[in-house]
Amino acid sequence: MRTTVGIIGAGPAGLLLARLLHDAGIDSVVLESRDRVYVEHRQRAGILEQGTVDVLRAAGAGERMDREGLRHDGMELRFARRRHRVDFPGLTGGRSVMVYAQTEVCKDLIALQLKEGGPLLFEAEALAVEGADGDRPRVRFRHQGREEVLECDYVAGCDGFWGVSRAAVPASLARVSERTYPFGWLGILAEVPPSHDELVYARHDRGFALLSMRSPSVSRLYLQVPADTDAAAWSDEEIWDELERRLETDDDWTLNRGPITQKSVTPMRSYVHEPMRHGRLFLAGDAAHIVPPTGAKGLNLAVGDVVTLARALTHEKETGSAELLDAYSATCLRRVWQAERFSYDMTTMLHRASDATSFDDGLQLAALDRIASSRAAGTDLAEGYTGFPIG
């Protein structure tokens, strides 16, 4: 089997890249180790930056998102029982975010790929990327019980942190920067309407809490917990009680409770692999970088990567110049490191360490008060949350 771009991974990065390449007249093959049902139901991110929304619309994947997604023009910060709304459009010149789950983005892109795009092979496990530093890279993969080879001009590694793509970059050429946090998020899905019409980020002496949603009838909520927490050790009543404590305010706001349908613990880490290119192999998304979820940057960073790669491949096709391909890693990493900074700042401002002192508490509250009282500080948060420029 031969194609121009071999894409490993059918998450939002790989699927969107295939769509962008299709629109540019560049053929591709997408290999996905899981089956379609798994890909369309794995719970991940749910916040789309303005730039991601714009890209999906331009790619023809925005119709259902615009119909069913929830546009948010702001977010609420809670601290010391106070409430402060951050007005996104007012601080950024009109930008907002969209609540639309990654599962739904994948469903939309899969439908488009199967209808109009190139081959999308489910249950096709990539085994290795070979010859990335030569002119004819290839991907060995297993599909329907047989080992096969996909020959390409380029390989896009969109296969996540545990995929094979990053392993094809020689360790001697790589630099890894990472931080592991001592806490995680206990997350729940609940069949109950959200208790607020926008996301609520709460800093509390007992730890961080987040009120989010998946739809007008389904709430998504999170609690900061120790990293080694077993989600099953928390009863539903204990979770609701703790959320109520951490989200409390001095007014008459109340938390809606309902049946919890899913609970899990998400670890927190920051990770960057440099470079994001080796020869004709290009890393994108979690294969190259991970952010703590506090800044809602993971999926959006992946979109930025593949938009940058698609532009570079289109430029090479149209002009014969590899200038943008050669700049891919540096271009992406500028945005990646800004997102890492933003996510780290959000995480350290809102989460309370187990050994926090009164000085640490004072710094957190001062940072939040600064955002609430300074337009400049509020603008910095709003610009970061709604998204850094792509490319």
pLDDT digits (tens, 9 = 90+) for 169-210: 999 999 999 999 999 999 999 999 999 999 999 999 999 999
**For residues 237-276, b (16+ Cβ closer than 10 Å) or e, as one string?**
eebbebbebbbbeeeeeebebeebeebebbebebbbbbbb
Same domain for 124 and 238, yes or no, is: no
Count Cβ atoms below 10 Å from residue 374 Cβ, excluding itself: 11
Q: What are the pLDDT digits (tens) for 206-218? A: 999 999 998 899 9
The confidence band for 145, taking pLDDT boundaries of 50, 70 and 90, is very high
SS3 28: strand
- Mean predicted lDDT score pLDDT of the chain: 96
Same domain for 138 and 279, yes or no, is: yes
- On the question of pLDDT at 308 being above 90, the answer is yes
Q: What is the CATH number of the domain that holds 62?
A: 3.50.50.60
What is the edge-to-edge ordering of all strands in the sheet holding 28-31?
120-121, 28-31, 5-8, 154-157, 281-283, 277-278
pLDDT for the residue numbered 248: 96
pLDDT for the residue numbered 390: 86
Q: How many Å apart are CA 193 and CA 256, to the nearest integer?
A: 7
- On the question of pLDDT at 30 being above 80, the answer is yes
Q: Which two tokens stand for residue 124?
A: 């096709």
Q: Is residue 42 part of a domain?
A: yes
Q: Is residue 84 part of a domain?
A: no
DSSP 310: H
Same domain for 53 and 143, yes or no, is: yes
* CA dihedral angle for residue 230, residue 235, residue 240, residue 244, rounded to 10 degrees: -70
pTM: 0.95
Q: Is residue 92 part of a domain?
A: no
Q: How many Å apart are CA 143 and CA 121, to the nearest integer?
A: 8
Task: Report the pLDDT averaged over residues 234-249.
Answer: 97
pLDDT for the residue numbered 185: 97
Task: Report the pLDDT averaged over residues 52-62.
Answer: 97
pLDDT for the residue numbered 178: 97
- On the question of pLDDT at 45 being above 80, the answer is no
Same domain for 154 and 192, yes or no, is: no
Task: Report the pLDDT averaged over residues 66-88.
Answer: 97
pLDDT for the residue numbered 351: 98
Q: Is residue 85 part of a domain?
A: no
Domain residues for the domain of 323 are: 5-72+97-177+269-346
Q: Which two tokens stand for residue 206?
A: 């007992």
Q: How many Å apart are CA 197 and CA 195, to the nearest integer?
A: 7
Q: How many Å apart are CA 213 and CA 219, to the nearest integer?
A: 4
Q: Is residue 86 part of a domain?
A: no
Same domain for 34 and 102, yes or no, is: yes
User: Which positions are catalytic?
Assistant: 72, 201, 293, 297, 385
- On the question of pLDDT at 353 being above 90, the answer is yes
Q: If we measure between CA atoms, which residue out of 83, 65, 66 comes closest to residue 74?
A: 83
Q: Is residue 154 part of a domain?
A: yes
Q: Are 15 and 106 in contact (CB under 8 A)?
A: yes
The confidence band for 42, taking pLDDT boundaries of 50, 70 and 90, is confident
Q: Which amino acid is at 124?
A: A
Same domain for 341 and 362, yes or no, is: no
Give the whole-number percent of the chain exceeding pLDDT 90.
Answer: 97
- On the question of pLDDT at 44 being above 80, the answer is no
Give the whole-number percent of the chain exceeding pLDDT 70.
Answer: 100
Same domain for 137 and 151, yes or no, is: yes
- On the question of pLDDT at 391 being above 90, the answer is no
- Tell me, letter by letter, the H, E, C secondary structure of 239-304: HHHHHHHHCCCCCCCCCCCCCEEEEEEEEEEEEEEECCEECCEEECHHHCEECCHHHCCHHHHHHH
SS3 228: coil
Q: If we measure between CA atoms, which residue out of 119, 100, 108, 11 comes closest to residue 60?
A: 108
Same domain for 263 and 276, yes or no, is: no
- On the question of pLDDT at 279 being above 80, the answer is yes
The confidence band for 62, taking pLDDT boundaries of 50, 70 and 90, is very high
- For helices 12-23 and 298-319, the axis angle rounded to 10 degrees is 30
Same domain for 241 and 273, yes or no, is: no
Peptide bond into 275 cis (omega under 30): yes
Same domain for 15 and 63, yes or no, is: yes
Q: Is residue 136 part of a domain?
A: yes
pLDDT for the residue numbered 41: 85
pLDDT for the residue numbered 136: 93
SS3 156: strand
Q: Is residue 87 part of a domain?
A: no
Q: What are phi and psi of 331, to 5 degrees?
A: -65, -50
Same domain for 39 and 173, yes or no, is: yes
Q: What are the pLDDT digits (tens) for 8-22? A: 999 999 999 999 999
pLDDT for the residue numbered 46: 85
Same domain for 102 and 164, yes or no, is: yes
Q: What is the CATH number of the domain that holds 254?
A: 3.30.9.10
Task: Report the pLDDT averaged over residues 45-56.
Answer: 94
Tally of structural domains, the chain: 2
Task: Report the pLDDT averaged over residues 100-114.
Answer: 95
